[in-house]
Chain A
Amino acid sequence: MTSRRAFLGGLLASGLLPTTGWASVGAPHYISAAKTPNGTYELVGLSKGGDIVFSLPIEDRGHAAAAHPTAPIVVAFARRPGDFADVVDCRDGRVLAHLRAPEGRHFYGHGVFSADASRMYVPENDYENGQGMISVWDTASYTRMGEFSSGGVGPHEIALMPDGAHLVVANGGIETHPETGRMMLNLPEMAPNLSYLTLDGTVVEQVALDPQWHKNSIRHLDVRADGRVAFAMQWEGDKGEMPPLLGLHSRGAPLILAQADAAAHRALNGYAGSVVFSDDGRQVAMTSPRGNQMQVFDGDSGAFLRAVPAVDVCGLSADEAGFVYSTGAGLVQHEGGWAREHALKWDNHMVRVRG
């Protein structure tokens, strides 16, 4: 940890960031990782209208980011099994700190800040033991303070519950090891779950699927203001089975699994990439790059509402007017109408910048 990093990190935590940006390009509304036409990787800031605000070269393929709750700061994570993350000032794309997973761990590509932004919680793989961990980072210095079990194997997306006192983690259930890249090592025995944990790692509730669907990897999630959790799944089992790919859960209540009518559901090819609630929470959308569409459901009942075709769609976010999605072909599209084409392959996730 250099003193410059410590200094900048301290500024972040204390909210003393300068209020005018170094580059004055305007803060982005979204962050997404992307691949450029010449094969390099970038972290890109997008305006609310889908225009590029900044592009920041990164050392390898990115995945998603943790958004600071009040400042225009994100921590952008490498795609698994990457072991790096960049703390970025979104007003100009400046890298404020560069994080590394410790020996024996790698990141999964997601993370989340605490409500007061003093901590960051990051899913990691303890790959020599095949166990999921959540590491705790002090955001004043961006040092890793400790870790606790994620409550499962392969923790992927993580979110803070609205009470600020609990985390919800999608434990995908899939064991991997960096020696064997992204190869899935435990498919016959995989057991995904959705785990609710206190901020010091006590599991307070877990939701698992029916055993016949134990190969349905719970990977991505979003949380509504009232604590309702939507999660999206990726089916690793038999092609012919086609289980639901969307779950809706409120703590203490029964799990709702949602799916479209048979043909529209089949069209997803067993794969959902991102999931978000609409701003008002009434709807929930998920994207399927292997189904070339976004599907939208009722946020309470799980009733299927509509499918929106989009080739190689995966990144997904929302503003007050509707859902916004991005594709591997370079499109950024608002469901309400506007669209922007960029000479980039947008990677799996769009993250909304706060502050």
Chain B
Amino acid sequence: MRLLSIVFLALAPVVATPVWADDDPVITEVIDTHILPRMEVLVGATEALKTADCDADALRPAFHEAMDAWTAVSHLRFGPSETDNRAFAIAFWPDPRAKTPKVLGRILTSEASLAPADFAKESIAARGIYALEFLLFDEGYMAETPRRCALIRAISDNLATQATAIRDDWRNTYRATMLSYSDTAPYRSSAEARQELFKAMQTGLEFASATRLGRPLGTFDRPRPKRAELRRSARSLRQIEVTTESLRDIAMILSRDFAGQNAELRAKFDVLQERIKGLDDPTFAGVSDPVARLKIEILQQIMQDIHEYAELELAPRLGVAAGFNALDGD
């Protein structure tokens, strides 16, 4: 992760735009040092996927780079990522009804056109990077046929197209959207824009704890190791590592004006990252073993603790506290 951070820093000046005197510095810092550089990395990684050979061994490193890059922005699910369902077209997971393998099987045995305009109409379950994992790591989908190679190309093209569209929107319009307010605009005040960013962090923590960790954990009596995220590519723990690095980064920026909360969050993330580093279980196979399971549960507890702390101690200071019904409607 240290290496990735250096890449982000190096890119930051390229995409930074001038800060107006009255722009909310927390918002500009999140966009310019957290969001835009990571979007840039995602575009680069998905472009690299497009140029790699179809051979699984050759493609796997590019897949890992792209998945790292996606996971580092996967908490930023608002605005540009949601326009035209771009994020869904990049990442369709979790998939409790196993749509991805079903649709992949159908495409592989059909002769339907995979040209970009046609592939764009295909089910999102088979257009994204989680579908690519099957083609690169699951024996059932790895027979080297021209059709498989064409599908890998179509998916890689789609990923680069979506990533570029998200990055371009952030650069060209959404940065300004988050900094200009009116009674009829998407954000009526800087407090609402801050709330969006705060919510992104909280949603990322929730997703990591309830889904990335929660799905394989299942219950003590019925652990579900096969539900671990990206277990075929042995990335389940890596996903937690990458998202934690990103969530820590945004937490540090959001709390930058509140020394006590900033220090407390830093300490909590230190503990979390220490625990992640100490865990030798890349696919969370340990969920079925009472002792190994505990170590995974601890990650979940720390994430829940950070989430709760941010809700109680950071949200009110940022001016973004939400009510019982407003926070969690139905």
Which residues of chain A from 304 to 338 have a CB within 8 Å of any chain B CB?
Answer: 311-314, 327-329
**Residue in contact with A328 in the complex, picked from B89, B94, B325, CB distance below 8 Å:** B325
Q: Is the CB of B88 within 8 A of A188?
A: yes
A residues within 8 Å of B by Cβ?
35, 63, 79-80, 109, 127-128, 130, 177, 179-183, 185, 187-189, 219, 234, 237-240, 262-263, 266-267, 271, 273, 289-290, 292, 311-314, 327-329, 345-348
Residues of B within 8 A of A312 (CB): 323-326
Q: Is the CB of B184 within 8 A of A290?
A: no
**Residue in contact with A177 in the complex, picked from B97, B323, B325, B329, CB distance below 8 Å:** B97
Given known contacts A188-B124, A289-B323, A290-B329, A179 and B227 CB-to-CB distance under 8 angstroms: yes
**Residue in contact with B85 in the complex, picked from A187, A240, A263, A271, CB distance below 8 Å:** A187
**Residue in contact with A183 in the complex, picked from B85, B94, B177, B186, CB distance below 8 Å:** B94
Smallest Cβ distance from B225 to chain A, in angstroms?
14
Q: Is the CB of B78 within 8 A of A239?
A: yes
Q: Is the CB of B184 within 8 A of A289?
A: no
B330 adjacent to chain A (CB < 8 Å): yes
**Residue in contact with B97 in the complex, picked from A128, A238, A314, A345, CB distance below 8 Å:** A128
The interface bits of chain B over 84-118 (1 if a CB of A lies within 8 angstroms of the residue's CB, else 0) are 01001100001011000000000000000000000
Question: How far is it, in angstroms, between the C-alpha of A35 and the C-alpha of B325 when the chains are bound?
Answer: 11
Smallest Cβ distance from B74 to chain A, in angstroms?
13
Residues of A within 8 A of B210 (CB): 181
**Residue in contact with B325 in the complex, picked from A179, A181, A266, A348, CB distance below 8 Å:** A348
Residues of B within 8 A of A189 (CB): 124
Q: Is the CB of A328 within 8 A of B324?
A: yes
Smallest Cβ distance from A158 to chain B, in angstroms?
15
Q: How many residues of B contact A (CB 8 A)?
A: 27
Beyond known contacts A79-B330, A185-B94, A346-B324: 10 more, CB 8 A cutoff: A185-B96, A185-B97, A238-B82, A239-B78, A262-B184, A312-B325, A312-B326, A327-B323, A328-B326, A347-B324
Q: Is the CB of B184 within 8 A of A314?
A: no
**Residue in contact with B83 in the complex, picked from A238, A267, A348, CB distance below 8 Å:** A238
Question: How far is it, in angstroms, between the C-alpha of A181 and the C-alpha of B85 when the chains are bound?
Answer: 21
Residues of A within 8 A of B183 (CB): 262-263, 266-267
Q: Is the CB of A289 within 8 A of B96?
A: no
Question: How far is it, in angstroms, between the C-alpha of A285 and the C-alpha of B67 when the chains are bound?
Answer: 47
B79 adjacent to chain A (CB < 8 Å): yes
Residues of B within 8 A of A267 (CB): 183, 188
Given known contacts A177-B97, A185-B96, A188-B124, A239 and B79 CB-to-CB distance under 8 angstroms: yes
Sort A-B residue pairs by CB-CB distance and give the 7 closest, nearest first. Answer: A312-B323, A328-B324, A289-B325, A188-B85, A314-B325, A263-B183, A177-B96
Residues of B within 8 A of A311 (CB): 323
Question: How far is it, in angstroms, between the C-alpha of A182 and the C-alpha of B82 when the chains are bound?
Answer: 18
Question: How far is it, in angstroms, between the C-alpha of A179 and the C-alpha of B226 when the chains are bound?
Answer: 13
Smallest Cβ distance from B100 to chain A, in angstroms?
12
Residues of B within 8 A of A262 (CB): 183-184
Q: Is the CB of A63 within 8 A of B330?
A: yes
